[in-house]
Amino acid sequence: MTENAVDNQIRLALAADDPAALELIWDRYARDLLVYLQALLCSRSDAEETLQEVFVKLVRKRRHLAKAVNLRAYLFQIARHEAATSAKRRRRQPADAEPWLVAAEAVTYDQGVADDLARALAALPQEQRAVIVLKVYRDQTFQQISEVLGISQNTAASRYRYGMDKLRILLRSWSHESQ
């Protein structure tokens, strides 16, 4: 089933006020949303908690969601807003130490490398980090990224380029320090 067909199915379920729409949305968008939220918040548990708030919010706005031209962009907008609320709340509470970036199973890297990468990504501005994570970990094109983030393709590409440059400089400086 194509992406548009799934989106139409979701719209029909929302228009019919059928809760089955929730599972369809989950299957289609939960991974993208969770990765995006982890990129914004740099915390796995905060991202999971915020994902739940995103789903509760979309239930309340399901009438609007059914009429949205771009479902993905609408959901990412809700996620962005909820992440900002969660970030404000987190300033009052200590952040958890649970890693949001883990070593891939097929690779022999240890978690230390993943922690260094997570630390380097966390040092980037949120906008650059979000573009890098969506491009690298969700294989999205700059056009798709620009649609969901509400920015131009050039802006998405420049954020990616500047972010990668900073990331490389950070990782290089840390490797020199360790030597």
Partner 1 sequence: MSRSDHEQLETLLRRCRPAEPSAGLKTHVLTAAETAWREHPAESASWRIAAWRLAGSVAAAVLVVFSAGWGSDWALSRWQPSPGRVCIQMKSAPGDLNENDDLPWRRLARINVIISPPEDTLDQLLWYRQSMQRLFEEEMDRVPVRQEGQRQGRMDLMGTPAWTLS
By CB under 8 A, name the binding residues for partner 1: 17, 19, 22-23, 26, 30-31, 34-35, 38-39, 44, 47-48, 51-52, 55-56, 58-60, 62-63, 100-104, 107, 109, 113-114, 117-118, 132-133, 136-137, 161, 164-165, 167-168, 171
Q: Count the residues in the chain.
A: 179
Q: How far is the CB of 5 from partner 1 (least distance, A)?
A: 22
Alpha carbon distance 111, 99 (integer Å): 9
**C-beta of residue 19 within 8 angstroms of C-beta of residue 33:** no
Nearer Cβ to partner 1, position 48 or 147?
A: 48
Dihedral sign, Cα of residue 3, residue 5, residue 6, residue 12: positive
What CA–CA distance (Å, rounded) separates 104 from 33?
Answer: 20
| Rounded-to-integer distance, Cα 33 and Cα 38, Å | 9
Q: Which is nearer to partner 1, 136 or 151 (CB)?
A: 136
Amino acid at 66: A
In angstroms, give the least distance from the CB of 60 to partner 1: 5
Smallest separation, CB 109 to partner 1 (Å): 5
* Nearest-approach distance from CB 112 to partner 1, in angstroms: 11
Q: Which is nearer to partner 1, 118 or 149 (CB)?
A: 118
In the complex, least distance from residue 35 CB atom to partner 1, rounded to whole angstroms: 5
- How far is residue 106's CA from residue 113's CA, in Å, rounded to a whole number? 14
CB 160 within 8 A of CB 128: yes
Nearer to partner 1 among residue 30 and residue 84 (C-beta): 30
Nearest alpha-carbon partner for 31 in 168, 157, 139:
139
Given the complex with partner 1, which of 132 and 148 has the nearer CB atom? 132
